[in-house]
Each structure stands twice: as structure tokens, then as C-alpha cells.
Amino acid sequence: MSDTPVDSSKRTWLIASTCAGAVGAGFVATPFVSSFQPSERAKAAGAAVEVDISALKAGEKLTVEWRGKPVWIMKRTPEQVESLKKVEGQLADPNSSRTAYPIPEYAKNGHRSIKPEIMVAVGICTHLGCSPGDKFAAGPQPSLPDDWQGGFLCACHGSTFDLAGRVFKNKPAPDNLEVPPHMYLSDTKLIIGEDKKA
């Protein structure tokens, strides 16, 4: 044991500098750890986007961004799903058989989706890249036919799409809205940009 007296001011200085160093290390480590998350550039390049659809009510639509594009997720009412059959004769490509872009196998049906009530589509008109507006109400309306069943209207040049994103005949848009790859992680969680389990 030493007989040298303890210098309390040095002890205080050592404790304070050690604490300051620990705080500084924390500030340096935080950006380093957060750098492991996908950057905005990586997300724009195609990183998958997870979406919670638990709050989505029947008849509502939400929009998320994937690869810099708006992706619509709509929960169709039973009546809206039924209306899809009524317009098939008026559509340019009712069975999504055109191949301007790849259509997932699970979207090659009358509702163009995995679950009949949930539509997932890229909200960009296939004519010149405008974003169509919601025209969900059925019935006659300006710029729409009298037997309108609900869907989307691209105000730029008048292209119309049904509630499955299928384009009507004799419109400027050459193709149906794109269906991005997607899959369900659970009943309320959807991932856009992936459709196969790794």
C-alpha cells in the first residue's frame, strides 16, 4: 500500500474525461451503426418496402413509394370486386396477356391480385407517365361513361382504368397498370419488391 496521498482533483479530472470519451464514442458509433440500414439511394434502386395494411378499410387506398414510383394498395369492397366482371367486355386487355412489362403469375386473373380484395399496382399511366386520379364512385360523372363502375381516370389524356388497373378500350394508354412483385408476410403485412421467400 502506498503512503502517497490521493489527489482528488486528478481523480475528478480522470473520471470526467473518461465519461466524456464514452459519450464521444457513442456519438461516433451511432452514424456507423445507422449506416447498415439501406440508404435512400438503395431504396430507390429497388430495395423492398414493407407495408402495414392493418388500418386499411374497405374502399380505401394508400400509396407507398417503391423504386421511385407510387404503388397503390387498395382494399376493394365486395361490390367493387364484383364490378370487375361487369366491365371485362370494355377492356383492352382483360386477362393481362400483353407483355410490355412482366406480370406476375398471381396477377393473371380477373382481379389481378393475390387476394381478390387487395389491389397492388404502380400508379403510373402507361401512356405518358402521369398519375391517374381516383374515381371510385360508380355512375355517370364528367369525363366518364354513364355506366362507370369505379376506377381511375388519367386526366392528362383521358385514359380510364378499372379497379384492377386494367385499361379500357380505345384509350391512349396502351397497357394495364403495372403490378409490382409483392407477397404477404402476414394478413396485415405486405412486402413490395419481393415475391419469393429467400
What does the pLDDT read at residue 198? 44
**Lowest-confidence pick of 10-14, 41-45, 75-79, 96-100:** 41-45
157 is catalytic: yes
Q: Is the backbone of residue 68 left (phi > 0), alpha (psi -120 to 50) or beta?
A: left
* Average pLDDT of span 160-166: 94
d(CA 22, CA 73): 46
Residue 192 DSSP SS3: strand
Catalytically annotated residue among 111, 127, 157, 182: 157
E-state strands within the chain: 49-52, 61-66, 69-75, 118-122, 133-135, 151-154, 159-162, 182-184, 189-192
194, pLDDT greater than 50: yes
pLDDT, position 157: 84
Which band of pLDDT confidence, cut at 50, 70 and 90, is reported for residue 158?
Answer: confident
Look at residue 102 in the predicted model and tell me its pLDDT: 82
Q: Which pLDDT band, with edges at 50, 70 and 90, does 41 fall under? A: low
Q: Which residue has the higher pLDDT, 188 or 41?
A: 188
pTM comes to 0.73
Residue 164 has pLDDT above 80, yes or no: yes
- pLDDT value, residue 30: 55
Q: Is the pLDDT of residue 7 over 90?
A: no
Reported as a pLDDT band with limits 50, 70 and 90, residue 143 is confident
